[in-house]
Amino acid sequence: MKVRSLGVWVTVLLLLVNLCVGYRLHSQEAAAQDGQDDVYRQIDVLMEVIQAVRTNYVDADRTAAKDLFRGAIRGVLRTLDPFSAYLDGESQTRLHEETEGEFGGIGVQIDFKRGRLVVVAPIDGTPAYRAGLRAGDVILKVDGEEVAGLGLERTVAKMRGKPGTTVRLLYTREGFSEPREVTLERAMIPIHSVTKATVVDGVGYVRLTQFMEKTAEELKTALEQQFSGEEVRGLVIDLRDNPGGLLVSAVEICSYFLPEGSFVVSVEGRQQSVSEKAKGGYKFRDIPLVLLVNGGSASAAEIMSGCLQAQGRAVVVGEKTFGKGSVQSIVPLSNGSELKLTMAYYFVQPQGTPDRRRIHGNGILPDVELAYSEEELDALEHDYEVFKAEQDKANLSETERLRRQQEFLDRQTTSDKVYRKGMELAAHPERIQAERERTQAERKKAEQNQAQNPDGDGDGDQDGEPSAEEPEQE
């Protein structure tokens, strides 16, 4: 037993020596970057803490060197932002599932914003979507456990699970008198990113739910097969509640609407900056293009809307977007694990552009702004509650219940004022300028009111911590 203990301590000592030696090899660069910080002293303190824990902590089975160092790594990343993370095992598997296939969960995108776990968007047709969860809902507990103590990765793990099992969420929403609890049955979450392609009175409409590996090709098919005829005079692309996804997909789709070589987005970090430009190949017809957005439009959805707006190719209608424009890159580590680290920000204007703003923390302001009043939101909520009550009374099979639920939600989407305004402007582009002027006048009035009442409530987005390029999916 003593020999084994001695061997463990020798291993730990070697690890600490290697860490210090490795650090000192890069000491000059670290000193230049950290200025007056006494990095050596901080590492010494970390080693003292680990040694004290291994020697004295009451539960010896919780002091394995691997676990302590993993905890130290996660502690370092937690001081940066909620989206940089140490990935191993299941967390690595989740990351790859979200961009490649399907997974078991409830179908909701989540992110931390202003220190709260916020729903970015429910995925169409999933348990979360059918239960009425909305962008902006704040999740408080999962199966009775407060998410504030779980963190993002562990919350993701608790929401995931075997299809057919259930999970309880306690959540709140602006306008709720008290938090509500909902029980959701987990299901396999297929990722269909191009949906509802149709033509109404000469205007094409299509919804993009995410930016995945096949999204650009699927949209191209819809553009060619359903919207290429001369009878289609305008096109509306619905990006509401689209939490983003892959940068390459957004660049490819923007290329369909821009001349080859046009600026799309700049990805700028400490190590390098890269500008993405429109590619050659397929180009859609030059007809009026309207993009619908809201507070659930994030990341790649903001790149697409911001790019086509800045290039003058599209009119953006709806509400200010989420403001999620940071880039997480995957760094492979020597033990087979991975580091997901925020390394850059997105900009949809080239360097040197006056009043240039990054997407992260700011979002994209629509050309034509249409916000929902509390009364309108309450009416939508009431209609849904009435529908659910009628569903509960009816003797329906599960398949029929889900079908009717999906039809009801689809009717709400295609009958609201943002949809109607987008279809109107795509059909009558001569009305766009008047709508722009109305929006500008309303913003100017709001700014004047804010200046006169500086202590009034603001949206607070500038203080938020929007998320990574690819949001967490449950």
Predicted local confidence at residue 101, as pLDDT = 47
Find the range with the poorest average confidence among 4-8, 136-140, 263-267, 461-465: 461-465
Each residue's pLDDT tens digit, 269-278: 998 899 999 9
Least confident segment among 73-77, 344-348, 397-401: 397-401
According to the model, what pLDDT value does residue 463 have? 38
pLDDT at 98 exceeding the cut of 60 = no
CATH architecture, domain defined by 90-189: Roll (2.30)
Q: Flag whether the pTM goes above 0.75.
A: no
Mean pLDDT in residue range 278-294: 96
Residue 90 pLDDT greater than 80, yes or no: no
Instruction: State yes or no: pLDDT of 17 exceeds 80.
Output: no
pLDDT exceeds cutoff 60 at 293:
yes
For the stretch 435-451, pLDDT in tens is 999 999 999 998 888 88
Least confident of 174-178, 214-218, 233-237: 174-178
Task: Kindly state the helix (H) or strand (E) to which residue 450 belongs, with its residue range.
Answer: helix 432-452
Q: What is the pLDDT of residue 2?
A: 46
Beta bridge partners of 188: 104
> What string of DSSP letters covers 238-296?
E-TT---B-HHHHHHHHHHHS-TT-EEEEEEESS-EEEEE--SS-------EEEEE-TT
Q: How many CB atoms lie within 10 A of CB 342?
A: 21
The predicted pLDDT at position 169 comes to 94
Q: What is the per-residue pLDDT for 467? A: 37
Please calculate the CA angle 173-179-184 and round it to the nearest 5 degrees: 90
* pLDDT averaged over every residue in the chain: 83
Estimate the crossing angle of helix 300-310 against helix 247-257, to 10 degrees.
30
Per-residue pLDDT of 238-251, as tens digits, reads 999 898 888 999 99
- Joined together, the tokens standing for residue 180 give 């509500």
Residue extents of the structural domains in the chain: 2-79, 90-189
Going along 358-459, which residue ranges are E strands?
A: 368-369
Q: What is the mean pLDDT of residues 311-319?
A: 97
pLDDT score, position 311: 96
Instruction: Give CA separation, 100 vs 109, 214, 225, 436, 461, in Å.
Output: 16, 9, 25, 39, 31
pLDDT tens per residue, range 131-160: 889 888 999 999 998 887 777 777 888 888
Mean pLDDT, residues 366-378 taken together: 86
Q: Supply the pLDDT for residue 312.
A: 96
Q: What is the mean pLDDT of residues 161-177?
A: 90
The pLDDT confidence band at residue 54, using thresholds 50, 70 and 90, is very high
Task: Average the pLDDT over 413-424 and give the result.
Answer: 86
Residue 355: which residues within 8 A CB-CB, separation 6 or more?
none
> Across the chain, which distance is largest between two alpha carbons, in Å?
85
Over range 71-88, report the average pLDDT. Answer: 86
Q: Is the pLDDT of residue 372 over 60?
A: yes
